Structure formats: structure tokens, C-alpha cells
Structure 1
């Protein structure tokens, strides 16, 4: 079992949790740091926008 701390972003509360304490249905992670977990939604949004752009470019070919 890993002894490293893991952080999770709780989409229901908007809080970062150290260790998985809430239902998996509300969690994004694990992340290696609190800062990474705090950026979870922004990173997901940026990835989605990038993928949507790639899909649009692919469809236009």
C-alpha cells in the first residue's frame, strides 16, 4: 500500500480532501498535491476544450 498522501477534489463541496473520504461519485483524483487537486476542474475544462477543438478539426478534414 502506498504511503504517499493523495488528494481528491470533491465536486459536490468544492473542497480538496486529503485521502478519499467521500463517495467516489463526487471525487476527481487522486492527485499528488493539494494544488493539483485544487486545479482539477480547470484542468478538466481545458482538456475538454482541446478535445472538442481537435474533434472539430478532424470533422472538417
Structure 2
């Protein structure tokens, strides 16, 4: 199995393999460059998830959740 890259959130350095404790690393990433972009990747994913949450809340607040077509 090929070793993967991780980003150490304490040292803010990429690491090849699971060197640091799990609480200090993000990943795995396929490349060193991706590990270096860890914070950017996290921010992008968070923005996507926040938009999905807004859509979900909008859908459920429209009264559609649990609505039946029978009257």
C-alpha cells in the first residue's frame, strides 16, 4: 500500500505517513501539495456543506418534510 500524505495542524507541515497523533493531523491526501492545501480544502468543503445545509433547511421549512399528497 502506498503511503499517503497528512497535514500536521500543530507544525503546519506535510508528513508522509501517519507520523503525528490523529488529533494533530488532517488527511490523508494523495500528494504533498494537497496536504499543504489542507486548510484551503477544508474551507472549500465547509462552504459546500453550509450551502447543502441551507438547501436542506429551506426544503424542510417549505412544509415539504413529511407532507402527503393525499388530502
TM-score by length of 2: 0.72
Structure 1 residue ranges, 4+ long, deviating more than 3 angstroms after superposition: none
| Aligned length, in residue pairs | 59
Greater Rg by CA? 2
- The structure whose RCO (Cα within 8 Å, separation 6+) is larger is 1
Q: Which runs of 5+ in 2 are unaligned?
A: 60-71
Q: Which runs of 5+ in 1 are unaligned?
A: none
SS at match of 1:30: strand
Measured on the aligned residues, the alpha-carbon RMSD in Å equals 1.2
